[in-house]
Amino acid sequence: MSKLRDIQDVSIDQGVQELLEKARREGVDTAFDRADQMSTCGFGSTGVCCRHCLEGPCRIAPNGKGPQRGICGADVHTIVARNFLSHLTEGAAGHAEHGREVALTLLEAAEGTAPYEIKDQGKLLKVAQDLKIDITNKEPKEIAKEVALKALEDFSKQKGIMNWVELRAHKDSLATWNELGVTPVNAHLEISKSVARSAMGCDADPLNLVLGGITMGLVDGYAGLHLSTDLQDILFGTPKAVKAQYAMGVLKEDMINIAVHGHVPMLSEKVVEWARKLNSEAKEVGAKGINIVGVCCTGNELLMRQGVSVASSFSSQELVIVSGVLEAMVVDIQCVMPGIQAVAECYHTDIITTLPYVKIPGASHIEFHPEDADEAAQAIVRKAIGNFTKRDPAKIAIPQETVEAYAGFSTEQVVEALALINQEDPLQPLIEAITSGKIRGVAAIVGCTNPKEKQDIGNVTVAKELLKNNVLVVATGCAAHSLAKHNLMNPQGLAYCGEELRQVLEGIGQAAGLPSLPPVLHMGSCVDNSRPADLLTAIANKLGLPIRSLPVVGSCPETHSPKALSIGTFFIAHGVDVHVGVSPQVSGSSVVTEMLCGDKVSEGVTAEKVFGGKLIYETDPVKGAQLLLERIDSKRAALGI
Ligand code: MSK
């Protein structure tokens, strides 16, 4: 058996270290330790293993020493490109399914069959008008129904382009995609086509396969990210600045703790509502009340709109249970480790799955459908209440540390803050700061944490390097958890900012009556990567420039999920350079690597030549940040600023 890492090498989060030590003491297996025991497969990690049919699996030998083609004759470039496309398809499908479920919920809310309000009527009207829906003399519910039906067309129409591409895409980016023939018609059609073309005996052209991957990035971006954010804001409210607490210390010994985990906010919003309503029942069993804590992106969704505390990002999700005070972990979709059930069986925690297509052996299942959301949420909260007295006092240990963080920076909230400086032209102060060099560029730090990496170190290091160099940083997903836990979303983090950036943050903050904006702006969950994209589109429109020419970059230092690859591809398709710190599993093909990572002087077709942005793979976060700064500077130079 491989040696396990010292706990200090697993995470830089003190609370995670304490709980991992406890888990090891109690003989509880976690993802961090399983990662240490898993040897890396040289074929899979370079993308050269093909499992698309039953002739194989086939593997291409490195350095020409062994088979150079699969049994069907596919060479390494076809195999790597096809595997890359499969990853992107999986990522896009996850987010598209998220979008479709939100659209159905909006439809049911509008028809009165699901118990949800329309919380942001202003956004509803704006989206409806932008979709060219006639809103004259119509009730909000009528308009919401038409918006929901427009959204559902993006999963069914057979001609034209997706409605949300027309709604949200920058015209120059769209012109490039149309010229290449990669603009999606509808999400399901494109995902189905992508699965079909990846099958044995279909698409064998690496370039064509990578272009298919661009379509998957756009499906993810528009049917997943933009559509989900827009409709979730309409249903649950557009986030505004909010203060909350992060880290494992948000668990409370004297309260009933319920973790909400996954991605889709329809159920978790109801769990929060019913936890408030059933507080008196919690007191009857001896608890002071009910404490909801967030994990992964469900955590981000509730944080952004309700200020709910966040306990854990992806890689340490099992350790929330190891605290011994978690009565229930409620999960929906994506990033839910099957391993949580085995951990829960060592404590009194109930794992509750809620969707018919996401189950875990041994877990409880309370099925959720929007129309009976209240009943499901009540049953979940009552199940947790029933567990409170089953705790084993000998197994309780809650790390003390919590960290204060400011979140809730939707695009609308950012624009509102800027409007306090220039009401007529809110984007102007930001553009002036970029043009003058006070803000050298803008970076979105996004994506995950990964059990095989030292948790938080990549996300935090890239952020600090960029902040030090006066780059404005926004964050989403589990990367936002890392940055919040390490004081980059509260005033303490201003110490990491370059002098000029700090002045800008203070200037905007003081206009809003605060000492400063936080150094990193939390824009939300994975699907909320639509928010930085919206901000970029607005800036590009204002300047009359394509997005590809702006000094903006993305970074995903600790990703584990194919969803991060499809989101990254969405940004590359706009001409934004994207850094990843974990192998995207394409290095087995020089051709595919060159297409994605090559520069302007590379031979052949590259993402940089076609779109103006490329993939940057660098495991060292300091070097990764330096490469991003170089890209920012070259875009500034091209603009003459
Ligand atoms: S939850 S996709 S680990 S960000 Fe969105 Fe976190 Fe990555 Fe899942």
Phi-psi region of 447 (alpha: psi -120 to 50; beta: other; left: phi over 0): left
Q: Domain segments of the chain: what residues?
A: 76-236, 248-390, 409-639
| Pocket test residue of 268, 313, 455, 561 for ligand 1, highest count of atoms within 8 A of CB | 561
Strand partners, 471: 441
Q: List C-alpha distances in Å: 232 to 100, 117, 183, 229, 301.
A: 11, 11, 24, 5, 9
Cβ(478) – ligand 1 distance below 6 Å:
yes
Residue identifier of the C-alpha nearest atom 2 of ligand 1: 561
Q: Which amino acid is at 190?
A: E
pLDDT at 1 over 70: no
Residue that is written with structure tokens 């999986």 in the block? 90
Please check if 296 is assigned to a binding site. Answer: no
Ligand 1 centroid–CA 420 distance in Å is: 33
For 248-390, CATH gives 3.40.50.2030
Instruction: Locate the ligand 1 atom nearest the alpha carbon of residue 563 and give its number.
Output: 2
Residues 6+ apart with CB under 8 A from 102: 151, 227, 228, 231, 232, 235, 264, 266
When mean pLDDT is compared across 38-42, 184-188, 343-347, the lowest value belongs to 38-42
76-236 under CATH 3.40.50.300, yes or no? no
Nearest CA to 77 out of 568, 580, 593, 566 is that of 593
463-497 burial code (b ≥16 CB/10 A, e <16): bbbbbebbbbbbbbbbbbbbbbbbbbbbbebbebb
pLDDT of amino acid 512: 81
Residue 235's CB is within 10 A of a number of other CB atoms, namely 25
Instruction: Locate the ligand 1 atom nearest the alpha carbon of residue 313 and give its number.
Output: 6
Mean per-residue pLDDT, 286-294: 98
Residue that is written with structure tokens 């057979």 in the block? 158
Contact 228, 98 (CB under 8 A): yes
251 is written with which tokens?
């668990």
27-55 residue pLDDT tens: 999 999 999 999 889 999 999 999 999 99
Mean per-residue pLDDT, 451-463: 98
Sheet of 326-331: strands edge to edge?
A: 364-365, 350-353, 326-331, 256-262, 290-295, 309-312, 242-246, 403-407
Task: Give the length of the chain.
Answer: 641
| Pocket test residue of 220, 304, 314 for ligand 1, highest count of atoms within 8 A of CB | 314
What three-state secondary structure class fits 391? coil
pLDDT at 617 over 70: yes
Contact 245, 301 (CB under 8 A): no
pLDDT of amino acid 616: 98
Residues 6+ apart with CB under 8 A from 615: 568, 572, 577, 578, 580, 584, 596, 597, 607
Contact 584, 617 (CB under 8 A): yes
State how far Cα 62 lies from the chain centre. Answer: 34
Question: In the chain, how long is the greatest CA-to-CA distance?
Answer: 72
Strands 58-59 and 49-50: antiparallel
Residue 59 host element (H or E) = strand 58-59
399-435 residue pLDDT tens: 999 999 999 999 999 999 999 999 999 999 999 999 9
Please check if 597 is assigned to a binding site. Answer: no
Cβ(563) – ligand 1 distance below 6 Å:
yes
Binning pLDDT at 50, 70 and 90, where does residue 2 land?
A: confident
Distance of alpha carbon 518 from alpha carbon 487, whole angstroms: 9
Ligand 1 centroid–CA 111 distance in Å is: 32
Q: Which amino acid is at 640?
A: G
Distance of alpha carbon 260 from alpha carbon 292, whole angstroms: 7
According to DSSP, residue 327 is labeled E
Sign of the four-CA dihedral 426, 427, 430, 434: negative
Rounded to 5 degrees, φ, ψ at 558 are: -125, 35
pLDDT of amino acid 601: 82
CA-derived radius of gyration, the chain: 24
Distance of alpha carbon 254 from alpha carbon 237, whole angstroms: 31
275-286 residue pLDDT tens: 999 999 999 999
Q: What is the mean pLDDT of the chain?
A: 96
Residue that is written with structure tokens 């999400």 in the block? 187
What three-state secondary structure class fits 403? strand
Cβ(561) – ligand 1 distance below 6 Å:
yes
Binning pLDDT at 50, 70 and 90, where does residue 602 land?
A: confident
Mean per-residue pLDDT, 601-607: 89
Residue 437's CB is within 10 A of a number of other CB atoms, namely 13
Cβ(296) – ligand 1 distance below 6 Å:
yes
228-252 residue pLDDT tens: 999 999 999 999 999 999 999 999 9
pLDDT of amino acid 513: 83
Instruction: Locate the ligand 1 atom nearest the alpha carbon of residue 526 and give its number.
Output: 5
Residues 6+ apart with CB under 8 A from 159: 185
pLDDT at 634 over 80: yes
Residue identifier of the C-alpha nearest atom 8 of ligand 1: 335
Any idea which architecture 409-639 has in CATH? Answer: 3-Layer(aba) Sandwich (3.40)
Residue identifier of the C-alpha nearest atom 3 of ligand 1: 448
196 is written with which tokens?
């079909």
Distance of alpha carbon 539 from alpha carbon 134, whole angstroms: 28
pLDDT at 564 over 70: yes
The DSSP secondary structure of 103-151, one letter per residue, reads: HHHHHHHHHTSS------HHHHHHHHHHTT---TT--HHHHHHHHHHHH
Q: Does the complex come out with an ipTM higher than 0.85?
A: yes
Residue that is written with structure tokens 């079909």 in the block? 196
The DSSP secondary structure of 427-478, one letter per residue, reads: HHHHHHHHHHTSS-EEEEE-----TTSPBTHHHHHHHHHHHHTTEEEEEEHH
Residue 55's CB is within 10 A of a number of other CB atoms, namely 11
Residues 6+ apart with CB under 8 A from 271: 258, 260, 292, 330, 377, 380, 381
Please check if 202 is assigned to a binding site. Answer: no
Sign of the four-CA dihedral 635, 639, 469, 501: negative
298-339 residue pLDDT tens: 999 999 999 999 999 999 999 999 999 999 999 999 999 999
Q: Which amino acid is at 427?
A: L
60-92 residue pLDDT tens: 998 888 999 999 999 999 999 999 999 999 999
Distance of alpha carbon 7 from alpha carbon 23, whole angstroms: 11
pLDDT at 511 over 90: no
Mean per-residue pLDDT, 335-352: 98
Instruction: Locate the ligand 1 atom nearest the alpha carbon of residue 335 and give its number.
Output: 8
Strands 520-524 and 471-476: parallel
Matching fold, domains 248-390 and 409-639: yes
According to DSSP, residue 52 is labeled S
| Pocket test residue of 448, 452, 523 for ligand 1, highest count of atoms within 8 A of CB | 448
Residue 168 host element (H or E) = helix 163-168
566-593 residue pLDDT tens: 999 999 999 999 999 999 999 999 999 9
